[in-house]
Amino acid sequence: MKEKIRLGVVGCGSFVQNFIPLFKLHPYVQWVAVTDLIKDRQHDTAKKHELTREYDCFEDMLKDDKINAIAIFTQRQLHGPLAIAALKAGKNVYSAVPMGIKVEEIAEIVELVKKTHLTYSMGETGYYRPCSIFCREKMRSNEMGDFVYGEAQYHHDMRHFYQSFKRSEGEDWKKVAGMPPMYYPTHSTAMILSSVESYAVRVTGFGYRDHHEDECFGTGKNYWDNPFSNMTMVLQLANGGTARLNENRRIGWYGPQSYISSLYGTKASYEYSVGQHSYVTLPDQKAVYHNVNDLLNPKVLEEARGQESFMNDIVNLKWNTEAPIQNLDRIPGSLAPVHNGHDGTHKFMVDDFCKAAYTGKLSPTNAWVAARFNIPGLMSFDSALKDGETLKVVDLGDAPKDWEIIDPYKD
Ligand SMILES: NC(=O)c1ccc[n+]([C@@H]2O[C@H](COP(=O)([O-])OP(=O)(O)OC[C@H]3O[C@@H](n4cnc5c(N)ncnc54)[C@H](O)[C@@H]3O)[C@@H](O)[C@H]2O)c1
């Protein structure tokens, strides 16, 4: 495009408040505009971030030629149709996760991107978490050998969501709160799949049938008749390895929320538990332990190690910021003053989208990659409803070979 981004942000809830300052300060962005169905939110957001442009509705943004990109920050079940409409209107798209909640929506996004050559970038924190970067680097260099088995999860108990559902959904909030956890699978899938740069070919899903008194889950309780508050899926990957992924929404756990608990290769392995990252190589008969905490944990966390409250602070997510392994040199300096949330990942997601839309290259979390992060989760719900029947995963293929992808280490 080589044209600065004039961005229409759809949805002025809580998450986007971290992103508007980043978009505003990015050198490839000319200006940012907002819209929300809830007008007070829209006006408050515009005022808070000193934005001069507000739109009555999403459709007005699409009609306006001045806007050349849309950022979707609406509730999680609404993204697919908005992304499709934006691409059809000729706009580049940044979307919060998930990509969509139907395989057909996702397939249509991929087709539209192929046809239009517009940017689609899904802002998935899991791609840039320190554990994913570490495992990806070790897998790419072949230090870990072939991928054998990995486990990752996103734990987020329902009690942390009640208020935000009530604020955005009103009286019907439970209908949405009960969405199948694997309709939002990308925090767990992205960490393993991006680490080993492969994709799922077969999926088996299982669910925990919820019986909590909040009654968000069960037949007739939500828009999907979903009985499960916690879901597990086992994936067979194209590279021959196996992954176990969990999306849990009723669980006695707070933090860390998204992490790879283990990733085993034929030559080396990585494990994590509550602040402790372990990397073990097996050069010969004897294993070698490498403590990689200094590389994968934020500096402030390591400085606090040994304090009485240290472990308690970790499980309460006290140090949710950047770690030395994250290559902040590639991030424009103008973004430096803004907090880099979700373990230092926000700036990378914004930068990928802006660079992709400006240069015409593909984002690392482009439509094809995002499809592979999302579709296995959607299908695992079908599998779980069929008592864990193994299903062949719908695969939409690789991005076109002649479409250059931004290198997350250099560009
Ligand atoms: N780690 C992560 O990647 C992460 C973390 C938090 C949230 N998220 C995602 O970010 C998105 C936003 O989350 P949130 O907590 O801010 O949600 P929210 O409910 O606080 O805000 C969503 C807003 O979108 C508005 N909206 C819905 N449809 C609209 C439309 N057609 N036009 C204009 N406005 C519309 C709603 O009125 C609401 O104000 C969600 O999809 C969520 O999954 C991702």
Among 17, 42, 75, 340, which is best to mutate for testing ligand 1, by the most ligand atoms less than 8 A from CB?
75
| DSSP category for residue 124 | -
What distance in angstroms lies between residue 20's CA and the mean position of ligand 1's atoms?
13
Closest CA to 121 of 410, 334, 408, 333: 408
Q: Which atom of ligand 1 is nearest to the CA of 16?
A: 16
Note whether 383 and 182 are within 8 A (CB): no
pLDDT for res 2: 76
Instruction: Give one DSSP letter per residue of 12-80, joined into a string.
Output: -SSGGGGTHHHHHHSTTEEEEEEE-SSHHHHHHHHHHTT--EE-S-HHHHHH-TT--EEEE-S-GGGHH
With 90 as the cut, is the pLDDT of residue 410 above it?
no
End-to-end CA distance of the chain: 17
Stretch (H or E) spanning 93: strand 92-96
Which residue type, as a one-letter code, is found at position 382? Answer: D
With 70 as the cut, is the pLDDT of residue 149 above it?
yes
User: Is residue 53 very low, low, confident or very high in pLDDT (cuts 50, 70, 90)?
Assistant: very high
How far is Cα 78 from Cα 51, in angstroms, rounded to an integer?
25
With 80 as the cut, is the pLDDT of residue 152 above it?
yes
Q: Is 18 in the pocket of ligand 1 (CB under 6 A)?
A: no
Identify whether 98 is preceded by a cis peptide bond (ω within 30 of 0).
Answer: yes
At 94, give phi and psi (nearest 5°). -105, 130
Nearest CA to ligand 1 atom 2: 125
- Per-residue model confidence as pLDDT tens digits over 342-354: 999 999 999 999 9
Nearest CA to ligand 1 atom 34: 36
Pull the structure tokens for residue 154: 């996103």
With 90 as the cut, is the pLDDT of residue 382 above it?
yes
Residues near 122 by beta carbon (within 8 Å), at least 6 away in sequence: 95, 96, 97, 98, 99, 186, 365, 367, 369, 370, 373
- Per-residue model confidence as pLDDT tens digits over 102-145: 999 999 999 999 999 999 999 999 999 999 999 999 999 999 99
Note whether 91 and 8 are within 8 A (CB): yes
Note whether 356 and 363 are within 8 A (CB): yes
How many alpha carbons fall within 13 Å on the CB side of residue 347?
22
How far is Cα 260 from Cα 279, in angstroms, rounded to an integer?
12
What domains can you pick out in the chain, each with its CATH number? Answer: 5-124 (3.40.50.720), 126-324+367-392 (3.30.360.10)
Reduced DSSP (H G I as helix, E B as strand, rest coil) percent helix, strand, coil of the chain, to 5: 40, 20, 40
Angle at 247 between CA 245 and CA 252, to 5 degrees: 115
How far is Cα 320 from Cα 318, in angstroms, rounded to an integer?
6
pLDDT for res 1: 56
Residue with tokens 């990585």: 270
Nearest CA to ligand 1 atom 43: 76
- Per-residue model confidence as pLDDT tens digits over 3-47: 999 999 999 999 999 999 999 999 999 999 999 999 999 999 999
CB count, 10 Å around CB of 235? 27
